[in-house]
């Protein structure tokens, strides 16, 4: 009987405990994932708005990840010159122009976000809303 009573109170307490995270307040717009290595990026969205950012990342990472065939590729920002994006049916396709002159086409996760810091504040955009991304290391800025 005691075990059943304990489980009952635990089940009642779960919603209250899960809601405690909201006591910390909403996420502030100044908070973005800070990558370990600093890159400068130029984001161009689907309406041709250009945004220049420092501390550029994709969900906090400094690589682009996507599928090619049945395999998953990751390409470091060190190797990327620019990426052109297009939506094909329900897929987000990234045509990656590499620094060595090569190219690679990847199926990307369109729910990921790109982040950065502008001179006015922070910036974030869904990958599916991008038209083009240019990557530079901090020295190339």
pLDDT in tens, 42-73: 999 999 999 999 999 999 999 999 999 999 99
| Separation CA 92–CA 107 (nearest Å) | 6
Q: Tell me the pLDDT of the chain averaged across its residues.
A: 84
φ and ψ at 104, to 5 degrees?
Answer: -150, 140
Please, what is the end-to-end C-alpha distance for the chain in angstroms?
68
What are the boundaries of each domain within the chain?
39-140
Determine the pLDDT at residue 29: 56
Q: Which residues contact 38 (CB under 8 A, 6 or more apart)?
A: 54, 55, 137, 138
Determine the pLDDT at residue 15: 47
């Amino acid at each position: 009987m005691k075990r059943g009573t304990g489980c009952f109170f635990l089940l009642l307490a779960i919603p209250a405990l899960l809601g405690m995270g909201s006591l910390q307040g909403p996420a502030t717009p100044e908070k973005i994932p800070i990558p370990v290595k600093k890159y400068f990026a130029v984001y161009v969205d689907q309406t041709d708005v250009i945004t220049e950012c420092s501390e550029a990342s994709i969900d906090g990472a400094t690589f682009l990840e996507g599928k090619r065939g049945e395999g998953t590729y990751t390409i470091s920002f060190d190797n990327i010159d620019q990426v052109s994006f297009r939506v094909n049916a329900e897929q987000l396709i990234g045509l990656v122009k590499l620094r060595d002159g090569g190219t690679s086409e990847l199926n990307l996760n369109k729910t990921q976000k790109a982040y950065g810091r502008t001179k006015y504040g922070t910036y974030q955009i869904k990958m599916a809303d991008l038209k083009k991304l240019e990557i530079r290391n901090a020295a190339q800025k």
